[in-house]
Amino acid sequence: MVQDGELARRAGRGESAAAAELLTRIRPGVVRYCWAHLGSLRHAPVSPDDVAQEVCLAVFEALPRFRDRGMPFAAFVFRIAANKVADAYRAARAASSTQPIETLPEAADDQWDPERRAVTADLSRRVLRLLADLSDTQREIVVLRVAAGLSADEVGAVLGMTPAAVRMSQSRALANLRARVRDQDAADEVVA
């Protein structure tokens, strides 16, 4: 199987088959990453799917300048994703301080029905509440490892950590999350 870095070089030279294969590989993780970070934003000017699309476009625009410097290609992709997510947060903050519009723009063609979108948004809000108690680094590790599906080596390259440090931090973060879920379940049983 061709490595992502090699596909990126070929796609950067204009090979459409390599570009299609590269997009097929990176898009699912990018979408999960954006939903993990942005799924709970209400009244955001862009949806997590829109941001994921922007990430993919930015990756492909940057491919001609991509140089393999010994880091996984995923580090290149998710650094772009982190920047686009930060841009979306800034845009959401700016939008929350503006006046609502009287007419809604025409809705984009969406593959998800309203029920699926609502369930996904609710789940994202619940997960983000749990993740809020983690440190910024632990939260990013969990999102990159679990939502985006990156390896410890790839996450280490994105965050400037060793793979062993990534695995240790992930283990601590997941233990913390398990304890919080157990505590929450126990509290729910008392209430019920």
What is the CATH architecture assignment of 4-97+113-191? Orthogonal Bundle (1.10)
Q: Is the pLDDT of residue 70 over 60?
A: yes
Least confident of 13-17, 99-103, 137-141: 99-103
Burial of 7 (0-12, 13-18, 19+ CB in 10 A): buried
Where residue 192 falls among pLDDT bands split at 50, 70, 90? low
Residue with the larger pLDDT of the pair 79 and 117? 79
Could you tell me if residue 122 is left (phi over 0), alpha (psi between -120 and 50 degrees) or otherwise beta? alpha
What integer is the mean pLDDT of 92-108? 60
Report residue 46: phi and psi, to 5°. -135, 150
Helices (H), the chain: 4-12, 16-38, 48-62, 73-96, 114-131, 136-142, 152-159, 163-191
What integer is the mean pLDDT of 127-153? 86
Q: Which of 4-18, 27-41, 162-176 has the highest mean pLDDT?
A: 162-176
Where residue 43 falls among pLDDT bands split at 50, 70, 90? low
**pLDDT score at 171:** 94
Where residue 3 falls among pLDDT bands split at 50, 70, 90? confident
**Would the pTM of this model clear 0.75, i.e. be above it?**
no
Residue with the larger pLDDT of the pair 112 and 181? 181
Q: Is the pLDDT of residue 108 over 60?
A: no
